[in-house]
Amino acid sequence: METRVDNSLCEATGCCMIGAMSRSTKGESRWYCFIHMASEPDDWMLKTNEINRLAWLVGISKVLRWPTLPNGFMAKAVQQIKLSQRSDLLQKPSESNAQWGIRLENEIAASCNAAVKSPDMVPS
């Protein structure tokens, strides 16, 4: 059985976000998502747990980075958001896909920060 590593993912153990930042100026070191890159290593586990709890939202935000959205993506994204009872995260008429993706990523980051501040208060 062959094991493959997705080099596009964040190097923080268990993180499913895109690894887009490196501490190296030449890019030869490990790549991290924007959430782990800006965090203290002691907070990584709590933030990774929160990212994985929000995997449905991470998935939507990842696809919104693509140059062309797959057929049926918007309907599936709307369904996932409504099933998660987060209608506040639906795309606003005034938002481009890129702006919506940024707003969703900001929501993920805010939820991760809340998980670190009050780990017992974040829903599981």
> pTM of the full predicted structure?
0.84
Q: What pLDDT sits at residue 35? A: 94
83: Cα within 13 Å, side-chain hemisphere = 9
Supply the mean pLDDT for the chain. Answer: 88
pLDDT band at 119 (very low <50, low <70, confident <90, very high): low
pLDDT band at 8 (very low <50, low <70, confident <90, very high): confident
Q: Bigger pLDDT: 122 or 71?
A: 71
HEC per residue, the chain: CCCCCCCCECCCCCCCCECCEECCCCCCCCEECHHHHCCCHHHHHHHHHHHHHCHHHHHHHHHCCCCCCCCCHHHHHHHHHHHCCCHHHCCCCCCCHHHHHHHHHHHHHHHHHHHHHCCCCCCC
Over the stretch 34-79, which tens digit does the pLDDT of each residue have?
999 989 989 999 999 999 999 999 999 999 999 999 999 999 999 9
Residue 32 main-chain phi, psi, to 5 deg: -125, 160
